[in-house]
Every structure is written in C-alpha cells, then in structure tokens.
Structure 1
Amino acid sequence: MTVVTVLEPIHFDDHPAGPEESANAAASSPSIVRPLRIGVTTLWLSVIVLLPLAAIVWQAGGRGWQGFWPAVTSHAALESFRVTLTISVLVTVLDVIFGLATAWVLVRDDFAGKGVIDALIDLPFALPTIVTSLVMLALYGNASPVGIHLQHTPPGVAMALAFVTLPLVVRAVQPVLLEIDRDAEEAAASLGATRVTTFRTIVLPALQPALLTGAGLAFSRCIAEFGSVVTIGGAVPGKTEVSSQWIRSLVENDDHTSAAAISVVLLAISFAVLVMLRTVGGRAARREEEAE
C-alpha cells in the first residue's frame, strides 16, 4: 500500500503590510494606553480641582441651610457682592475694549519696540499679586508721583483689577486675529466698504468667540482677585471691600463656615458666567463656520 501525503501549498505574501495597514491594525487592537491616559488625567483633575471644590461646598453646608443663607444674605456679604460685581463688570467691559485694541495694534501695526510691548503684556502674569497692589499704591496712593490719588476708592480697585486681567483678553484675541483671512477685508474695501463696516461685518464676527472667552476669564479673575486690591482698596465696607476681602475677615474671625458659603456663591457666579459665555461663543463660532 502506498501512502500519499498531500501537502497544502504555502502562499508567500509578496506585498507586506504598509505603514497605514500597520497603523490601522494597531488602532484596532486592544490597548491600555488610552484608558490609562484618561484615568491619570481624571485622577489628577480630581485631586487638583474636584476635591477642593467638594471640600469647600461641604464646609459651606456645615451648619445646614439655616447657616448658609444668613451668611450669604447678611448686610456685609451683600455689600461685598455689590462692590465686587459692579467693579468686575466695569473692568471686564474695559478689558474687552482695550484688550481688542491692544491685540489689533500688536498684530496689524509695525512699530519700533513692538516686541517689548508684546512681552510687557505678560508681565502681570509674572508679578505676585501683592506686588501689583504695592505698585498701584506707589503710583496712585496719597504720595502719587503723577498727581492721581485713587487709594481706598473704587477706581483704584478697578485699576488694579484691570492690570491683572487685561492680558487675558489680549492673549485670547491675538492668535485669532493672526489667523483671520485678510482677503475678505481687502475685497470689502475694494467694493467701497469703510473700515468701520469691514470691521463690524467681517472681523468682529470672527473675533466674537475669542472675545467672549477672554471676557469670561477676565470676569472670573476679577471676582476672585485678592492680592492686587489689598493695599490700594483698603477694604472700606460698602465702597472698596470686595468679597475676597470679606472672606478674609470671616476667616480671621474664625467663621470658616460663613467664609466657605461666600466662596461657594462666588464659584457659582463664575461658573455660570463662563458657561453662558462659552455657549454664546460656541454658537457664534458655528454660525461663522456655516457662513464660510
């Protein structure tokens, strides 16, 4: 008997997988890199942001609603909210106007010392806020070298807040202004549109999301600022005492629960404003994309 063994033909692939096929295979294969990355990010965010926020909310409710409501509706608290919100809104509006103007000059104009001015925009980020307060006191205090006396006045507080928040608007607007297509502006000008019309119909809609983002950051920084207004403001109740200074007074009087309650209100206001402005900015960006 003859045994015949049949061997299956062996096929050799003359075309090995290319880089794209290898990448697709790697992407389709299960991997722990992405879940690990997400987990580390979530853990770090929880430790740095979520846990402190949860702790301040827990402390604010230490005496229940009966302790929270009187703390945030007392005369001193309401006066501090009024001063804080009034000055913060005013400073935010000024930041948007002058921040846009500053970014425009830095992007569209060429002049001697432009690099120095651009670097100076970031100086408030580098200075400790208490140094800012001392600088403002030296410049606008009772011994002002320029003859402007703003110590213990709302304009003095506004000047200090504008100093530390203006760069937020400038840096939010500047990169968007750099990316705007100049061809549309030149086409509008060739059709007889004035500079104001061109800015209002072409440039401003493209800048709106960035302006809203900068405004939200500036407003949130204003209502939370403490160090830059300590000496120039003087914490005069009902006049220059912002909520952060009222919180310090409560802490010094060992009333940590009331201080946490005021902090929660400021957090809620800041979060609501940021969400609102981001929503409006997102809708404006989508309309701009659809128009293109």
Structure 2
Amino acid sequence: MKRFRQPSILPGFNLTMGFSLLYLTFIFFIPVGGLLLYTSMMSWEEFWRAVSHPQVVASYKLSFGASLAGASINLVFGALVAWVLVRYSFPGKRIVDALIDLPFALPTAVAGIALVTLYSGTGWVGQYLEIWGIRVAYTQLGVVVALTYIGLPFVVRTVQPVLEDFEAELEEASAALGASRTTTILRVIFPALLPALLTGFALAFARALGEYGSVVFISGNLPYATEITPLLIVAKTEQYDYNGAAAIGTVMLLAAFVMLVVINGLQWWASRRFGH
C-alpha cells in the first residue's frame, strides 16, 4: 500500500537546517572565529604577556568573583521570589511579577545610572549606608550589586514554571507521613527544583560575566580595584590593541565555556540522581 505522509505546517528538515546553520554562522561562528583568528596571530609569549598582566589578572578576579557572588545571591533570593509569586496571593502581585522583567527591558546604561543615583554618597540609599561605614558606589560591592540586579530574572523565570507544575499533593503526602517542614523542603521540593536552580544560576553567571553597561557607571573603573574584564577589552580595542583584546576575550570565552560544561554536568547528575 502506498504510504502518504502527513503534510507539515513547518518547512522541511533541509530548509530549516540550512536557515539554522546560516543564522548560527553569522551570529556565533564568524564572531568567535574572528576572535580566535586574532589570537592565533600572536606567539605564545605575546599571548601570555597579554593575559597575565597584573592589571588583567585583577580584572579576572573581580569579574569572576563578582559574577559568582551575584549569581549565588540570585540563586537564593530568586528562588524565594519565585516561591512567593507562585504560592501566595497578595495585593500588587502582578506589578511585582512584571517588575522582575525590568532588567530585561531597561537599557543597562540606564540601570547603571539609576544604581549610582541610589547608592552614591549623596544618593537616596547610599547616604544612609555611609553612616554605617558602608560604601557601595565606586567599590567592588557596587559591582556585585549591579551584577545581582541584572541576573535576578534568570533565576526567577527559570524556577517559576517548575514551581507552577509542582504537585502540591506531594507536599501533603510528605506531611501526612509525619515529615517535618524542613524534611519536606530538603527531600521533596529541593530535588525537584535543583535542575532549574542550576540552570538559572548558570544563566545569571554567564550574563553577569559579560555585563558592561550597568557596571561601568557604578564601579568607578579603577585599575587593580574596580575594573572589570569587559571594560579592559573595550579599552584595548580603543587603543587599537586588537590582539591583546582578542587574547583576553579568548580567556573569558574558554572560562565561560568550562563553567557552562560544569553546570551542564551538574544538571545531568541532578536529573539522573533525582529522576527528573
């Protein structure tokens, strides 16, 4: 008997694959290839000299350390915000839910100016913090604040759908069997959320690692102190040191790739370990 295939609304595999590869070529492969091409034009001594300069190393420490701190803060408080939005009803809930996406819509430069306005020594919040000896603007703490701000939506929007699909009957069964609230959270809720938490953490960390606009205003850009690596790359580009900028960019690219591989490995382990 002659078989008839069900016509598909979407184009065929060859066409969609061709468009996908073309899109990836222009968006990903060509920029990354250009970055690696500039790096390959350098000798090993030149490359090592560019990426191991004390000023560059200081920027690595700040960028990775502040990104890790911001993503870790969002991992905890982002999960709490998602929990509140899913499990509770309160006045203004829709407004709060919409404000979570504000870092996506607000230009990062505007966010940086707003943070400086809030946390500078004469700012609305900063003037009271400085009474207690806490300086935020133009310090490493300010960098962490900025990176926490831009990374929050990634954790909330990753965990929120999982909580919405989580069956409340599992919590009720745990309580009926005599488990305490802490045991229910650690043995029932947390394993179900772990893959989503790791995904949100990875997205927030990767976003913070490449952030520029919101940090450049609040950090003060002091070499060896509050200068982030993306700013250093821009500075070298403005000085026509394209090889040096490419070398530093390659280090950041490799580090981000390794970090994402580790996070994906943890996600795979969590899915196998907890059966999700």
- TM-score (norm: length of structure 2): 0.92
Corresponding residue of 1:134: 113
Structure 2 unaligned spans of 5+: 130-134
State which of 105, 118, 123 in structure 1 corresponds to 2:102: 123
Is 1:63 the equivalent of 2:42?
yes
Supply the AA of the counterpart residue of 1:67: E
Is 1:236 the equivalent of 2:222?
yes
Contact persistence 1:134–1:231 (CA under 8 A): yes
Corresponding residue of 2:156: 170
Aligned partner of residue 25 in structure 1, secondary structure: coil
Supply the AA of the counterpart residue of 1:229: V
Query: What percentage of residue pairs aligned between the two structures are identical?
Result: 39
Alpha-carbon distance, 1:27 to partner: 6.3
Supply the AA of the counterpart residue of 1:39: G
State which of 51, 54, 59 in structure 2 corresponds to 1:75: 54
- TM-score (norm: length of structure 1): 0.87
Is 1:196 the equivalent of 2:175?
no
Work out which of the two has the higher radius of gyration on C-alpha atoms and give 1 or 2.
1
State which of 212, 215, 225 in structure 1 corresponds to 2:201: 215
Alpha-carbon distance, 1:140 to partner: 0.3
Aligned length: 266
Contact persistence 1:57–1:260 (CA under 8 A): yes
Corresponding residue of 1:7: none
Looking at structure 2, the residues matched to 194 and 110 of structure 1 have their Cα atoms a distance apart, in angstroms, of 24
Is 1:181 the equivalent of 2:167?
yes
State which of 276, 280, 290 in structure 1 corresponds to 2:262: 276
Contact persistence 1:61–1:67 (CA under 8 A): no
State which of 136, 145, 148 in structure 2 corresponds to 1:150: 136
Q: 1:27 to 1:287 in 2, by over 3 A?
A: farther
Looking at structure 1, the residues matched to 213 and 238 of structure 2 have their Cα atoms a distance apart, in angstroms, of 16
CA offsets per residue over residues 70-102 of structure 1, 9 Å max, x none? Answer: 111111111110111111111111010001001
- Range with bigger deviation, 246-255 or 77-86: 246-255
Is 1:246 the equivalent of 2:232?
yes
Looking at structure 2, the residues matched to 262 and 271 of structure 1 have their Cα atoms a distance apart, in angstroms, of 14
Is 1:160 the equivalent of 2:146?
yes
Supply the AA of the counterpart residue of 1:97: V
Alpha-carbon distance, 1:191 to partner: 1.6
Supply the AA of the counterpart residue of 1:136: L
- Range with bigger deviation, 141-150 or 220-229: 141-150
State which of 88, 94, 97 in structure 1 corresponds to 2:73: 94
State which of 33, 45, 50 in structure 2 corresponds to 1:54: 33
Looking at structure 1, the residues matched to 175 and 231 of structure 2 have their Cα atoms a distance apart, in angstroms, of 51
CA offsets per residue over residues 268-290 of structure 1, 9 Å max, x none? Answer: 11111112111211221233337
Alpha-carbon distance, 1:238 to partner: 2.1
Alpha-carbon distance, 1:66 to partner: 2.4
Is 1:25 the equivalent of 2:4?
yes
Corresponding residue of 1:8: none
Looking at structure 2, the residues matched to 40 and 83 of structure 1 have their Cα atoms a distance apart, in angstroms, of 39
State which of 220, 241, 244 in structure 2 corresponds to 1:255: 241
Corresponding residue of 1:205: 191
Corresponding residue of 2:132: none
Contact persistence 1:60–1:260 (CA under 8 A): yes
Looking at structure 2, the residues matched to 255 and 62 of structure 1 have their Cα atoms a distance apart, in angstroms, of 13
Looking at structure 2, the residues matched to 285 and 183 of structure 1 have their Cα atoms a distance apart, in angstroms, of 21
